[in-house]
């Protein structure tokens, strides 16, 4: 069930980012759309318009020229998702998905909702950590104190990076930054002065968002908000007796995409399905695991308790718009990575 929540920002996405959840939480939400381009459209512009990461959009539109798709080209908008496993509170960032979910505390008498945004994550040698932390500081128009490692990287390219970058258009943190309570003090959720790269593995470990997205998140969260950083390329949900599967390209310890290991994916799928009786269409499941498109698909059905003779389905179950129904809360594979107490200011933190 889509909760329409339009914004008046100039760069406002045409697709709402707030979705209503049932009282017991979880499920599949959103929808896959198909649009036709105008002559002046690019995939970078469309990604931002629909609050998608660039790679998230290009992955499901293979063969389309990202800079000049042309007038009237059909584009798939992957706006349907399965909620990440684990707790339905605070912020959850799924690194392999390059996406952030925020579960606001419901107001009295109001339904629970989720907000979701694409994020950039750490590039090679700049790993975004996995674990549990909190927001320990928030700043508008932050200054940036680059770590020495980042300054050396700039110097290797023949560029000089000042020791302190003041607020303004040259500041890569953008206009909003939230520091995470990870001991180094250098990990942030922040905006950007280069929105074209949102949704890629390009940062020095931080989580980078579109300027309009981070402004919404900044206003919605407070210091102390919990943040779970997970790496779960395979997500599953049960919806009205159907088994839904969503698969993203796995990433390695350096945050880089790697080829799926189908055997490991199958084992993870078995773990997610658990001991309950299900009829899985394994051709569909394996195809989804290999493709790793990020679009949820129906791959099977729950077997009713009074039908022990049920067999694996021969064809794909029907798909279409659905109501959100509960999904089992799966454990977050995250371990503590911080003390929630604010640390002494260090290079890389906001001031």
pLDDT in tens, 222-275: 999 999 999 888 888 888 788 899 999 876 655 566 666 777 777 777 777 777
Give every residue of the chain whose pLDDT is below 50, as ranges: 1-12, 124-125, 311-351
Going by DSSP bridges, is the β-strand pair 32-36/74-78 parallel, antiparallel, or unpaired? antiparallel
Question: What pTM, to 2 d.p., does this model score?
Answer: 0.78
Nearest one of 217, 238, 272 to 100, comparing CA atoms: 217
- pLDDT value at residue 5: 30
**pLDDT at residue 253, rounded to an integer:** 58
Which of the residues 176, 206, 248, 281 is marked catalytic? 206
Annotated catalytic residue 176: no
Output the six-digit token pair for 269: 């799928």
Q: Which of 131, 115, 144 is nearest to 214 (CA)?
A: 115
Task: Please give the pLDDT value at position 227.
Answer: 94
Q: At what angle do helices 282-291 and 262-273 cross, to 10 degrees?
A: 120
Identify the bridge partners of residue 116 per DSSP, sorted by sequence position.
101
36 is catalytic: no
pLDDT for residue 205: 66
Q: Where are the beta strands (DSSP E) in the chain?
A: 18-20, 28-29, 32-36, 74-78, 81-82, 90-94, 99-103, 113-118, 121-122, 131-140, 176-180, 188-190, 201-203, 207-208, 226-230, 234-239, 242-247, 278-280, 297-302
Q: Which of 36, 98, 176, 190 is catalytic?
A: 190
What whole-number distance in Å separates Cα of residue 43 and Cα of residue 65? 8
Domains delineated in the chain: 87-231 (2.40.440.10), 234-302 (no CATH)
Contact indicator for 281, 297 with CB cutoff of 8 Å = no
pLDDT tens digits along 16-43? 578 887 555 558 888 899 999 998 999 9
């Amino acid at each position: 069930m889509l909760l329409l929540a339009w914004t008046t920002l100039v760069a406002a996405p045409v697709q709402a980012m707030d979705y209503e959840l049932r009282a017991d939480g979880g499920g599949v939400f959103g929808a896959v759309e198909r649009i036709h381009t105008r002559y002046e459209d690019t995939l970078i512009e469309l990604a931002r318009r629909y609050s998608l990461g660039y790679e998230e959009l290009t992955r499901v539109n293979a063969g389309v020229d990202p800079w000049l798709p042309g007038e009237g080209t059909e584009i798939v908008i992957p706006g349907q998702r399965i909620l990440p496993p684990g707790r339905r509170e605070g912020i959850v960032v799924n690194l392999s998905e390059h996406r952030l979910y925020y579960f606001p505390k419901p107001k009295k008498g109001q339904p629970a909702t989720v907000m979701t945004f694409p994020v950039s994550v750490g590039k090679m040698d700049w790993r975004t950590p996995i674990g549990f932390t909190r927001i320990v500081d928030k700043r508008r128009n932050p200054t940036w104190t680059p770590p020495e490692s980042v300054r050396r990287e700039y110097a290797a390219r023949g560029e000089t990076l000042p020791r302190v970058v003041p607020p303004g258009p040259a500041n890569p943190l953008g206009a909003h930054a939230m520091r995470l309570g990870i001991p180094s003090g250098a990990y942030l959720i922040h905006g950007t002065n280069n929105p074209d790269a949102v949704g890629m593995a390009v940062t020095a470990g931080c989580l980078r968002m579109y300027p309009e997205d981070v402004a919404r998140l900044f206003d919605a969260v407070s210091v102390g908000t919990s943040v779970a950083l997970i790496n779960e390329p395979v997500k599953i949900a049960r919806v009205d007796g159907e088994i839904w599967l969503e698969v993203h390209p796995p990433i390695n310890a350096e945050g880089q995409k790697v080829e799926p290991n189908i055997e490991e994916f199958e084992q993870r799928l078995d773990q997610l399905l658990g001991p309950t009786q299900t009829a899985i269409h394994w051709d569909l499941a394996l195809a989804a695991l290999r493709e790793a498109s990020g679009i949820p698909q129906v791959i099977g059905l729950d077997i009713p308790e009074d039908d022990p003779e049920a067999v694996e389905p021969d064809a794909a179950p029907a798909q279409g718009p659905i109501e959100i129904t509960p999904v089992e809360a799966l454990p977050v594979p995250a371990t503590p990575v911080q003390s929630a107490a604010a640390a002494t200011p260090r290079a890389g933190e906001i001031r």
